[in-house]
Amino acid sequence: MPDLLVMTLILAGGVAGSWALRRAWRAKAADKPRWRALGWTTIIVTLLWPAWVMGSVRGPFIGVTLLSVAAMVVVAAGVQVRAARAGRTGNGSLAPEPVERPTTRWRTTLRWLLAGPIGMITAMAVGICYAVWVPGEPQTRLIIGALIVPAVWGGAMAWTLADARILRATAVLVGTALAGFGISILKGFT
- Claim: this prediction has a pTM higher than 0.75: no
Bigger pLDDT: 122 vs 56: 122
Each residue of 35-70: pLDDT tens digit?
Answer: 999 999 999 999 999 988 988 889 989 999 999 999
* Alpha-carbon distances, residue 2 vs 6, 47, 48, 59 (angstroms): 6, 17, 17, 13
DSSP of 75-130, one letter per residue? HHHT----PPPTT--GGG-SS--GGGS---HHHHHHHHHIIIIIHHHHHHHHHHHH
Q: State percent of the chain over pLDDT 70.
A: 90
Lowest mean pLDDT among 85-89, 159-163, 185-189: 85-89
- Rounded Cα distance between 17 and 71, Å, is 8
- Rounded Cα distance between 39 and 136, Å, is 52
Q: Which 8-state DSSP code applies to residue 27?
A: S
Q: Is the pLDDT of residue 165 over 60?
A: yes
Lowest mean pLDDT among 30-44, 65-79, 81-95, 127-141: 81-95
Can you give the pLDDT at residue 88? 55
Q: State percent of the chain over pLDDT 90.
A: 62
Mean pLDDT over all residues of the chain? Answer: 88
Q: Is the pLDDT of residue 87 over 80?
A: no
Q: Closest Cα partner for 20 from 71, 60, 64? A: 71
- Rounded Cα distance between 161 and 97, Å, is 10
User: Residue 18 — very low, low, confident or very high, per pLDDT cuts 50/70/90?
Assistant: very high
